Amino acid sequence: MDRRRFLASAGLAGASILAGCGAIENQSTRSPPLVEDRPDATYYPTHSEGMEMIGHKEAGDYMVGLTYSYPHRFWTVTGTNAEQVTIQDADSVHLMASVWDPETEMVLPIESGVSITIDADGETVADKQPWPMVSQNMGFHYGDNYQLDGEGVYEITVRVDGMTERRLDGLADRFGDAGEMTTNFEFSRDARDDISYDEYADQQGSRAALDLMNMEMIPTSQVPATEDLPGKLLGTAKGSDEVYAATWLTEADFLEPGQSYLAVSVRTPYNRVPLPMMSLDGTVEIDGETAFDDTLSPAVHPDIGYHYGAVVETTGDPSVSVETVSPPQVSRHEGYETAFIGTPTLEF
């Protein structure tokens, strides 16, 4: 019988018959109504879900950790619009891949992205490119809801493409090539349904955030506190709830004499999770002269983390303007979908 027809006919049957068969029971009902009047800022979500480790392995230069949880609702972002992705009946799990540098333990947002293929019994069950995402308790990761084909053992392959972002100092010459890892995952509904789940009826909607989870095998995706950024901190500013910190480096391995480096680190409030995939323009004035007026490009540096930066062909005491051309085009878990969606221009 056609699987689709089977599901259609199963849908007409009583719920008691469905327990333990078909795909209906994959559905997560753990999706309470959204907070009414969500603030245009980070807010405490209605609930949080824990996650379980599937495995972690090297993939070329990268280390990749795979975790899963209940299917989630989330929001994809195009421009300044966040569109809710609802949970589908057939969704079984929310699968998350974290990619990091095993040497510095820095979680790497990679614009070229990640593909995940799920096979079972020699057949491909799913093959897609999960969304780059931020969540309050997981930080930056690649995630999506996946539709599995019942309980059992699956082989999951994660391919991470080479980074196109600028890599500075100790990260230069690394992560240019794709890497791949494969691990097994035994899916059982009982195990999934044992994952922790908490609702926050009292706190939901308040201007606060969940703490980042402490994951034993996966480093936390945080950028340094603003006071720990190298160089001269030019200042910090708040945009549409995201925090911008601008720092000015005059000495670094990658700089020639007479050059400086403007780095703008944009992170979530509360948790300091980097916000990648923004379009930023920067202007640098020194002694009343425009020394730089162009795009700030995404880059990673061992002590700055993920940021947007540009080499400026002069030194001196800068005054900096940063224009947000588009906000972070990363998908959002609940509590972040109404934040970081503006296009502020900030002065440092």
Partner 1 sequence: MSDRGISRRDFAKSAVAIGGASALAACLDRFGSPDVPSGTDPATLPARQHAWDGGLPTDDAGNHRLGRHHVLLLLDYERDGTPTSGDRQQVTDALQSLERAYAWGADGLQFTLGYSPAYFDRFEAEPVGVDLPEPSALAPFEDPEFDTPDAILHLASDHEQVVLAAEEALKGKQESVNDREMAASFSGVFSERDRRTGFVGAGLPAENQDVDGVPDSEPVPEDAPLFMGFKSGFKENQASEDRVTVESGPFAGGTTQHLSQIRLQLQQWYEQDSRDQRVSKMFCPAHADEENVEGVGENLGTDSGVGSCADDVVENSRTEGVAGHAEKAARARDDSDTPIILRRDFDSTDGGEARVHFLSLQRAIADFVATKSMTNGTDVADESAVGQRVNNGILQYMRVERRGNYLLPPRDLRALPPADPAQ
Q: Which positions touch partner 1 (CB under 8 A)? A: 1-4, 6-7, 20-22, 76-81, 83, 85, 88, 90, 111-113, 115, 120-121, 123-124, 126-129, 131-132, 144, 147, 149-153, 161-162, 164, 178, 277-279, 295, 297, 325-329
Q: Where are the beta strands (DSSP E) in 194-278?
A: 197-199, 232-238, 243-249, 260-267
d(CA 55, CA 63): 11
d(CA 346, CA 3): 55
In sequence order, what are the residues at sequence separation of 6 or more whose Cβ sits closer than 8 angstroms to the Cβ of residue 184?
A: 55, 153, 154, 155, 156
Tokens found for residue 340: 């970081």
Count the helix, strand and coil residues of the chain and give each as a percent rounded to the nearest 5.
Answer: 10, 45, 50
Instruction: Compute the residue count for the chain.
Output: 348
Nearer to partner 1, 1 or 15 (CB): 1
d(CA 51, CA 130): 17
Tokens found for residue 160: 């991470």
Tokens found for residue 286: 């020194």
d(CA 7, CA 209): 39
Greatest pairwise CA separation for the chain in angstroms: 77
d(CA 154, CA 148): 9
Smallest gap, in angstroms, from Cβ of residue 252 to partner 1? 22
Tokens found for residue 194: 């044992």
Q: Which amino acid is at 49?
A: E
Contact 79, 179 (CB under 8 A): no
d(CA 74, CA 21): 27
Query: Measured on CA atoms in the order 335, 341, 344, 346, is the torsion positive or negative?
Result: positive
d(CA 16, CA 345): 57
